[in-house]
Amino acid sequence: MLFHNPLRQAVLIKRYKRFLADVELENGEVITAHCPNTGAMTGCAEPGMRVWLSDSENPKRKYRYTWELAETFNGQLICVNTHRANHIAGEALKNNSIEALAGLQQLSAEQKYGYDNRRIDWFGRDQQQRQVYIEVKSVTLAENQQGYFPDTVSQRALDHLRSLQDMIADGHRAVVLYTVLHSGIENVSAAHHIDPQYAEGCHKANAVGVEFYALGCELTDKGITPMRELPVLS
């Protein structure tokens, strides 16, 4: 995934009201940018961090710039724009980057499914013509090269696990694909210490056949490239 135009560099002053971030541009101007991340953003939004913004090129938009990347104080890059995860995961699926999901056919995004007509991030059929439902999760919380999801208690994520279990019960395949958007993460696990209910939900989902994979990416200010599968730890 390439950014459509060159990102603009800045320094983070503060993130607030979940969706807003004040930053100082290289010319000294202070502006407010849109923050497309509803999570806690632990370790991703420290004042003084170097950040990169995309330009909507729409002067009429209330917040013309969108916060895309952050750099930790030890030089690791993070994509804070969680909306990028689905696109990146789609590229990985089309490029067969996850061995167990290689060769999927009829790939399509944002398909309605389940009994409540929620949307699945990616749908496809495997080589045995089984329906495959793939829920994508963005991982940015890092502790000593260990990635965790979620970074705050998430009832929504738990509900997604239950919907995937329904797909297993109906005879289909169901997948959680953690898209790792932090260059310092080498493996992923459920955040037992943050959301024990989600962690228990993962254990139950895995026991009935829900598959869990993690995708490592290369991050630069030019774009984000899906690279390799990372271990998912129980």
117 pLDDT exceeds 90?
no
Return d(Cα 87, Cα 72) in angstroms, integer: 24
Topology (CATH level 3) of domain 8-79:
OB fold (Dihydrolipoamide Acetyltransferase, E2P) (2.40.50)
What's the Rg (C-alpha) of the chain? Answer: 18
Specify the pTM: 0.95
The whole-number pLDDT of residue 114 equals 80
**Which DSSP symbol is given to 213?**
E
pLDDT of 127 higher than 90: yes
Q: Indicate if 84-233 has the same CATH topology as 8-79.
A: no
Question: Yes or no: is domain 84-233 CATH 3.40.1350.60?
Answer: yes
Alpha-carbon span 143 to 17, nearest angstrom:
25
Distances (CA, A) of 40 to 33, 74, 211: 17, 20, 26
Mean pLDDT, the chain, whole residue set: 96
Query: In the chain, where are the structural domains located?
Result: 8-79, 84-233
Query: What share of the chain has pLDDT > 70, as a percent?
Result: 100
Mean pLDDT, residues 35-64: 95
Taking 80 as the threshold, does the pLDDT of residue 44 lie above it?
Answer: yes
Q: What sign results for the dihedral spanned by CA atoms 119, 203, 195, 229?
A: negative
